[in-house]
Amino acid sequence: MGVKQSAAGCDTLDGGPASAYNNAVRRHWIWLVPALLILSGIIGYWRYRQWRDHRFDPLILSASQRYGVEPALVKAVVWRESRFNPRARGKAGEFGLMQIREAAASEWAQAERLKSFAPEQLLDPATNTLAGTWYLRKLLARYQKTDSPIPYALADYNAGRSNVLRWNKGAAETNATAFVGQMDFPGTQKYVRSVIQRYRLYRNALLSKEP
């Protein structure tokens, strides 16, 4: 009996069933820990994206209601201009969420009869969203005689009125599809298409939440 027990003990120490089980458990944990870390990272990133993409929704909705612009369109512009970064600054002097320039913001301030206004105020998300939505409404109204004012307004927002006047010749004067195709600024063309695509995405999401 003593010899058999000793032999059994040697089998365990030298890689018998118990040792094989322990090795399997260790291998399992070696793979499980990285998998859990990756999973927690994915969940954390998803939660951050949800927070980032929705934290300004109340401000966007408020500005949209005030100036009569679809919230999905305002949010799409915010997404494209700043990726929801309220401290963003552009190379040409743009500020905040909707990358508003001082000239456009000054127009808004005058229209709202604000006694004092400084460009730095555009780094405030609420102020920026109000000024940007007001300006977007102004551009949409400018192209009401077209079959779809949005592409024209977005092109104006991105490249300015003078370039829109170059592009809206012939059929493109009122036909949005022809207008987008006639742009000779690939960057603006991509801008318009990406904002419209995002606008439709946000619009469908908002419609799906309606009772």
Q: Side chain identity at 200, as an amino acid letter? A: R
Kindly name the residue from 81, 120, 173, 210 that is annotated as catalytic: 81
Q: Give the pair of three-digit tokens for residue 173.
A: 């004067």
- 94 noted as active-site residue: no
Contact assessment for residue 136 and residue 80, using Cβ atoms and an 8 Å cutoff: no
Q: Give the pair of three-digit tokens for residue 166.
A: 């170059």
Selection from 152, 124, 122 nearest residue 139 by Cα: 152
Contact assessment for residue 103 and residue 130, using Cβ atoms and an 8 Å cutoff: no
Q: In whole angstroms, what is the distance from residue 68 CA to residue 63 CA?
A: 8
**H-assigned helices in the chain:** 2-13, 17-54, 57-67, 71-82, 102-111, 125-142, 149-159, 161-167, 176-182, 186-209
Residues acting as catalytic residues: 81
